[in-house]
Amino acid sequence: MKTAREVLDVPALRKDFPILSQKVYGKRLVYLDNAATSQKPRPVIEAMERFYTQDCSNIHRGVHALSERATRAYEDARIKVQQFVNAPEAREIIFVRGTTEGINLVAGSFGREHVGAGDEILISEMEHHSNIVPWQILCEEKGARLRVAPINDRGELLMEEYEKLLGPRTRIVAVAHVSNALGTVNPVREIVALAHSRNIPVLIDGAQAVPHRKVDVQDLDCDFFTFSGHKMFGPTGVGVLYGKAQHLEKMPPYQGGGDMISSVTFEKTTYNKIPYKFEAGTPYIAGGYGLAAAIDYLDAIGMEAIGEYEHGLLEYATRAVSGIPGLEIIGTAKEKAGVLSFTLDGIHPHDIGTILDQEGIAIRTGHHCAQPLMDRFGIPATARASLAFYNTKEEIDQLVLGLRKVIEVFG
């Protein structure tokens, strides 16, 4: 078996990320906040610069060379995304601002059409606010009910309870592929299969999955899958909603405006075909360039190698922090990816974050936009170190030293 070092040449990869070589308060930056946003390699930054220095123009309607180049690049980005998640067709890829908008689009279009009074929407207890609030808004508007599948103390979805909640009134299931606060990898294939056996469609929030593992939407057979560019080494402000064409074609538009129409009169407007029906207004074109470059970059490394390396690093980190007195890991699921959430007895997570920051170590503290999940564990917040493929064992060792310092100061 290959060692983690052999799987990836991390020192070489780190050189692609200009931001990582900086010092913070005179200490080498240790960036462990990748679940919030990941850093960008040079090819992503250069691709966006290329748009602004060479191709800047509006897309789809231009007849001049710049617009044709930009349109081609933007549509090529769509094909890259299609291949990245193995979607059957490029028209099933809708560019959105990010995961949050992807979920709002499905709730506001598919949800508004299919959910009525007394119907149910099923989510899980570990969802990010972005996969709770859009459904709550819909429930309020329609008089529908939000049902929540519970988890166990390790942070794993209770599949029997989930199955029991799939009822005759369930109109859609919406669950995270990977939890941002716990790192739990949900058995999404099984979740989809159980829902489909009752003809219930499923949306997967893939925000924390795509940076860490190979995603194949045909293999998962999910109806919708959404993710953010900025968590997968691409720009902020661009993301993706994959939807099965059979759904997207029947769904009403989410927003009205330019590009999403095929003809407009004051009497009647006919809508464009998918995906454009859902892409009103000028999109984030440079974001498309950047996202395509991020996919090329990840493809060149290989998602399998990334997954394998990070798995080893997470195991190393879990072992390394386990020896720290008073430290409790929140989220100990058998299948985890990228996230190490913890509390330190008697010390507020914000104090942990502040001391670590002075050591040049960036982690996140708080409720991680998952307040109901924090309530489930009876805690207000956790400290969370989240990994990317450019993180190293040496950085984990720095984290451990930093945590020992936190205990010295507050313990």
Indicate which residues carry an active-site annotation. Answer: 369
Q: Is residue 128 within the footprint of ligand PMP (CB under 6 A)? A: yes
Nearer to ligand PMP, 123 or 293 (CB): 123
Site string for ligand PMP, 158-177 (x = CB under 6 A): ------------------x-
Residue 128 CB, shortest distance to ligand PMP, in Å, is: 4
User: Nearest CA to 244 among 293, 169, 177, 192?
Assistant: 192
Nearer to ligand PMP, 36 or 245 (CB): 36
- Cα Rg, the chain, nearest whole Å: 22
- What is the dihedral sign for C-alpha 88, 94, 97, 99? negative
- Pairing verdict, β 327-330 and 339-344: antiparallel
Query: Which residues within the stretch 355-374 sit at the binding site for ligand PMP (CB under 6 A)?
Result: 369
Q: Is residue 341 within the footprint of ligand PMP (CB under 6 A)? A: no
Residue 126 CB, shortest distance to ligand PMP, in Å, is: 9
Q: Is residue 180 within the footprint of ligand PMP (CB under 6 A)? A: yes
Residue 319 CB, shortest distance to ligand PMP, in Å, is: 25
Stretch that binds ligand PMP, among 61-69, 123-131, 216-224, 241-249 (CB under 6 A): 123-131
Query: Which residues within the stretch 77-116 sit at the binding site for ligand PMP (CB under 6 A)?
Result: 98-100
Nearer to ligand PMP, 147 or 368 (CB): 368
Q: Is residue 228 within the footprint of ligand PMP (CB under 6 A)? A: yes
Residue 189 CB, shortest distance to ligand PMP, in Å, is: 18
Q: Is residue 34 within the footprint of ligand PMP (CB under 6 A)? A: no
Q: Is residue 207 within the footprint of ligand PMP (CB under 6 A)? A: yes
* Calpha distance 246→63 (Å, rounded): 32
Binding site for ligand PMP (CB under 6 A): 35, 98-100, 128, 130-131, 176, 180, 205, 207-208, 228, 369
